[in-house]
Amino acid sequence: MNLVRAFSLPFIALVFVPIACAASPDRPNIVVFLTDDQGYGDIGCFGSESLETPNIDRLCQQGMKFTDFYVHQRCSPTRLAFMTGSHAHRAGCTKVIYNKDRIGIHADEVTTPELLKTAGYTTGIVGKWHLGEWDAFNPTRHGFDFFYGFMDDLDQGSGIYRNLERVESIKRKTDGQHSPELLDAAIGFIRENKERPFFLYYASPLPHTPWSPNTRFKGTSKRGAYGDVTREIDWQVGELMKTLDEQGLASNTLIVFASDNGPVLGINGGDAGPFRDGKWTDFEGGIRVPCIMRWPGTIKPGSTNSQITGIIDLLPTFCAIAEVDPPGDRVIDGRNILPYLKSEKVEQPIHESFIVPGSVIRHGQWKLLVRDLKPGGKSGREGKRPSAAAGSLFNLQTDPGETQDVSADHPEIVADLRRRMNEAVRELEANSRPIGRLPSR
């Protein structure tokens, strides 16, 4: 697994020391709703003509649509990047973390919830963690005050946990019967903490395979089980929005909606929209995902941002909002994109480049493949989707689907992007951190 990286950004060495701050009613609540394997083209406001997502579309109408929002090409790395503000490769893990691996987020990482707690926030996560399935990696040991969601145990299998306690054994995380339980836990967290700033991370297990929609949504879409599950996601988003309205919190809450990677293709499911391929690949369909942010009074309704942004930017942006410093004793790849949220004039793009070291680099409108890219997905799912050769250059402004290699016409751009890639790889190798590991048995 590779990583994504926004390059050519300065590192300011400021030592982070956690300092408890009094909760301020002026600090906004923060809700992040992250879906699992949802495609760019699976939402109405991002161009879907076959899926109905009225609540997500309303969120978009009331907020800002991010058209160039990047993540990793698979689950655990994206979530690690969100928690650390660093690309997953820098934080030591570029693969999916399974319970047999005996690895997870390192205890020395300074996480998004830990930083927000220093500003007086109460922190909660509902749903999918996927950053270590052992007790040492439980979310409550990495900055969350409250956890209601999924963990795996080698002996007992998958289960739902409340903080450190296993409360229910389950067959699969994607069964729609769990959605009401997850939603109730999230709504309860909001209501219990309405008098103080809170951070809620709603990590939906949907629409990851296998698709098993809740009974109330079966047969309600035009796209089979995948469409039904998408409607289920939209319902959950709507219920959270409704709760914020009922509790009088909507005007002082930043909502972020995004997916952890592109869709699984080849099984009549997700849609990457105008982009090539999907999950498991560094084509745009695998690493560029839908993202919406709403913050009444700060974000202009119905606005669009087309600059390079990514999941790595959430930690430093939340720090800016909460008025705390991000850790300064390590490289943080993300940057504060609050100026974008405020529609302020920015002389230079906050990120000029986006890099998956050893794989691809995007700089402005140009994207270079440094290695051969094959279609994503498991064996047999690729169908006839083509590969692309190392050295291919695409103009994403005119060719977002990466269909026409123009490297022969722009050798100077190819040379410049290769140089930038080499510099990025050298810097990252010099400033990487280990993943957490359990002691050998």
Sketch out the chain's domains with CATH numbers: 29-351 (3.40.720.10), 355-435 (3.30.1120.10)
Q: How many CB atoms lie within 10 A of CB 155?
A: 5
Average pLDDT value for residue range 62-82? 97
> Who wins on pLDDT, 168 or 8?
168
Q: What is the pLDDT of residues 328-364, one digit of tens each?
A: 999 999 999 999 999 999 999 999 999 888 899 999 9
pLDDT surpassing 50 at residue 23: no
Average pLDDT value for residue range 21-36? 81
Determine the Cα–Cα distance for residues 119 and 189; give it in Å rounded to an integer: 18
pLDDT surpassing 60 at residue 22: no
Residue 224 has what pLDDT?
95
The conformational region for residue 130 under phi > 0 = left, psi -120 to 50 = alpha, else beta, is: left
The single residue of 75, 93, 291, 319 carrying the catalytic annotation is 75
75 counts as catalytic: yes
Average pLDDT value for residue range 78-85? 98
Strand, helix or coil for residue 111: coil
Residue with tokens 């009094």: 22
Average pLDDT value for residue range 277-299? 97
130 counts as catalytic: yes
pLDDT surpassing 50 at residue 133: yes
pLDDT surpassing 70 at residue 377: no
The model's pTM: 0.93
The single residue of 87, 130, 142, 363 carrying the catalytic annotation is 130
Cα first-last separation, the chain: 26
Residue 21 has what pLDDT?
46
pLDDT surpassing 80 at residue 383: no
